[in-house]
A and B are shown apart, each in its own frame.
Chain A
Amino acid sequence: MQFQMPSVGKWIVIALSLILGVAALYLRSRIPQLEKTDEGFKANKKKRNLFMMAGVLTLWLFSGLVLGCFVLSKSAFSVSISPARMDVFGLSMSSSVVMTWIVIAVFSVCAILIRIFVIPRFKETPHGIQLVLETAVGAINDLTREKYGHKNDGLASYFFAMATLFLGSAVVELVGFRPPTTDLSMTSSYALITFVMINVFGIYKKGIKGRAEAYIRPNAIIAPFKLISDLAVPISLACRLFGNMLGGMIVVELIYYALGAFSVGIPAVLGLYFNAFHPLIQFFIFINLSLTFIGEAVEEIE
């Protein structure tokens, strides 16, 4: 990164945009704010909004021009589908593994702190952290009960852990690292856990005989198709999560690349959708689908 002296014309544009932006904001503060009942309220509001927009836009232009003076080594746009490797105590590890361990460590410390300091002080009427915890636990409990039945056998706690891990992965992207969920091996491992759970719960509830009988129902001919559709479940779960997360990441990186020095403010708004809202929807879908498949496996057949 090095400073590049802008030309005279550019200096003038920078100065003009700064002066115009500050002037517009100053003029806006001079316009008196009318009450809703006053005459000409709408025109007044329109004028204030217009000055606000002009000020923000010119200041945005100013920041972009100033940042544009610093020459970054700009390379062609490139995205890799596998995350970078890093060296941890002599072991070559994928950065997604390291990131996941950091997220797990942070959440473990938070859980221990909450267990020691917050849970003994719970009151009858929830307030603060207690309210958040009760809402989250209640939501996951309701979800598992709705899909799996009232004896949810610790499924709720497993899915709550999964949900917090997903949330942590999303927050990692907001800080600026590559999220672990954009790694196909990471999403595959989540999907494999679900696959194991489907079979373990199916055998636990119905026995090996009952689980095998589900394949030849209603006819023995469809057994291979059922086997294929069962084996396709982890692949489809992994690819869905991976594709969605990588797609969101590529879109955000493309915006950064396209805007260059002007990427102030706009990527933050888009990032709120692609980095915060989108992962939440995806983890809801992942958990919902896992629960649906587990519920299907333990279903009683008459």
Chain B
Amino acid sequence: MSDNGDGGNDAGADVKADSEADPDTASKLAIREPPVVLVPVQVLEGETLSDALVSFLAPARVVVLGYHVLPEQTPTEQASMQFEDRAKAAVDDIAAAFADAGGAPETRVVFTHDRDQTLERVAAEVGSTAILLPNPTGAVSTVLVPIRGAGDDDRLADLVATLADEAHERVTLWGLTNGPGGFDAEAAVVDAADRLRERGVTDAQLTTETKTTETPLRDIVERSADADVVVMGEGDESILDVLFGDDAERVAEGAVAPVLVVRNRKPEPGDPAVEPGG
């Protein structure tokens, strides 16, 4: 299992290492790291994905993770005995929807006591570059990309460029900063737009905006009402994350739209491209 994950990460890291070594060659590549989107669905809670979201995600490699969280007093074995078939059927239904939309999804079914541990483990095993935090959505025509600080810009660009289809989806790059001297939102948005153009996103699809705000998360949540999907970076760990869950989860809870969280590359031993400061 973990071998797969390592393989995926290594492949991605190699590509990134190349791009750093030789930006000119790298810029000619359309997609550097084919995105892998982990789609966790609480199947036994009746959670499902809208057809619109399925067809939006289908161009990426999708891993459908059907999971069920049990209270600690219930052995996972007991739940799987009784509900495994039902969970598998529900996940297969979702997988079939992806197949109909032209995808070839991988499926996993997990019974767990700890959602975060399971998501983190499976994401690492399948080498996922983004995780979907589901919310209801209609047909996807606008993708909101809030940019608030350093994230994995290449992964994010790969994901958006893969998913945003020229005919259907428009992309809004939205830089948020807390004022002069803080994060340079203007430059970040221009940089992100460049990265998307390199990957074949047309100018007609792109809108760039910036905003100065003290409450970026609240602004993103409010703005999400106008978007069909939000794509954002994982953000840096802060003490608030421990108390309130990480930024993306807080956005997903408040937001009207589904949120795709781009995972930061996790440092792995012997992987120079992702060494801290590298």
A, B assembled together? no
